[in-house]
Amino acid sequence: MKEDVIHLLPDSVANQIAAGEVVQRPSSIVKELVENSIDAEAKTIQVFVVDGGKTNVQVIDDGKGMSETDARLSFERHATSKISQASDLFSLSTMGFRGEALASIAAVAQVELKTRRNEDELGTYIQIAGSHIEGQEPTVCPVGCNFSVKNLFFNVPARRRFLKSNQTELNNVISDFERIVLVHPQVSFSLHSNGVEVFNLPQSSVRQRIINVFGKKLNSDLLPIEVETSLASISGYVAKPETAKKKGVHQYFFVNGRYMRHPYFHSAVMRAYDGMIPAGEHVSYFIYFKVSPADIDVNVHPTKTEIKFDNEQAIWQVLSAAVREALGQFCSVPLIDFDVEGRPDIPTIGTSKEIPQQPKPATTSYNPFHSTNPHPVAGWERLYKQSGDGSEFSFDSLVPSELTNDGNAELSQSTLNIWNDDELEMSSSVYGEALPKFQYKGRYIIYPDSDGLIAVDQHRAHIRILYEQNMQCLNQHPRPTQKQLFPEIIQFSKAESLVLETSLDDLLSLGFELSNLGGGSYSVDGVPIELQGLNIDKLLHEIVGSLMNHPILENAKEAWETISLIMAREAAIVYGQVLSDAEMEQLLRDLFATSAPARTPDGKIIYATIDFRQIDNMF
Average pLDDT, integer, range 25-42: 92
Band (pLDDT 50/70/90 cuts) for residue 33 is very high
For 397-435, b/e burial (b = at least 16 CB within 10 A) is ebbbebbeeeeeeebeeeebebbeeeeeeeeeebbeeeb
pLDDT at 611: 84
Alpha-carbon distance of 306 to 137, in angstroms, equals 40
Cβ 426 vs Cβ 440: under 8 Å: no
Q: What rounded mean pLDDT belongs to the chain?
A: 77
Is 243 or 355 the better-scoring residue by pLDDT?
A: 243
Is 11 or 611 the better-scoring residue by pLDDT?
A: 611
pLDDT at 448: 85
pLDDT at 550: 60
Say if residue 138's pLDDT is above 90.
yes
pLDDT at 130: 86
Say if residue 99's pLDDT is above 80.
no
- Convert the pLDDT of each residue in 466-480 to its tens digit: 888 888 877 766 667
Say if residue 150's pLDDT is above 80.
yes
Say if residue 226's pLDDT is above 90.
yes
pLDDT at 379: 38
Say if residue 396's pLDDT is above 50.
no
Say if residue 432's pLDDT is above 60.
no
SS3 of 396, please? Answer: helix
Say if residue 207's pLDDT is above 70.
yes
Say if residue 277's pLDDT is above 80.
yes
pLDDT at 111: 94
In sequence order, which residues have a C-beta less than 8 Å from that of residue 171 and are 6 or more positions away?
495, 498, 499, 548
Number of H helices, E strands in the chain: 16, 23
Average pLDDT, integer, range 437-454: 84
Average pLDDT, integer, range 379-388: 39
Nearest to 502 by CA among 536, 543, 552: 543
Band (pLDDT 50/70/90 cuts) for residue 239 is very high
Say if residue 410's pLDDT is above 70.
no
Alpha-carbon distance of 438 to 448, in angstroms, equals 10
* E-state strands within 321-451: 417-418, 438-440, 444-449
N-terminal to C-terminal alpha carbon distance within the chain: 84
pLDDT at 464: 92
Nearest to 323 by CA among 369, 274, 373, 365: 274
pLDDT at 14: 63
Q: Which of 132-146, 308-322, 499-513 is most confident? A: 132-146
In sequence order, which residues have a C-beta less than 8 Å from that of residue 281 and are 6 or more positions away?
244, 245, 246
pLDDT at 26: 93
pTM: 0.66
Average pLDDT, integer, range 352-378: 51
pLDDT at 320: 92
Cβ 50 vs Cβ 113: under 8 Å: no
State the helix-helix crossing angle for 26-39 and 166-181, rounded to 10 degrees: 20
Is 221 or 495 the better-scoring residue by pLDDT?
A: 221
pLDDT at 367: 53
Say if residue 167's pLDDT is above 60.
yes
Question: How many angstroms from the chain centroid is the CA of residue 428?
Answer: 41
DSSP letter (8 states) at residue 224: E
| Type of residue found at 212 | N
Is 54 or 568 the better-scoring residue by pLDDT?
A: 54
**Could you give the percent of the chain with pLDDT greater than 70?**
71
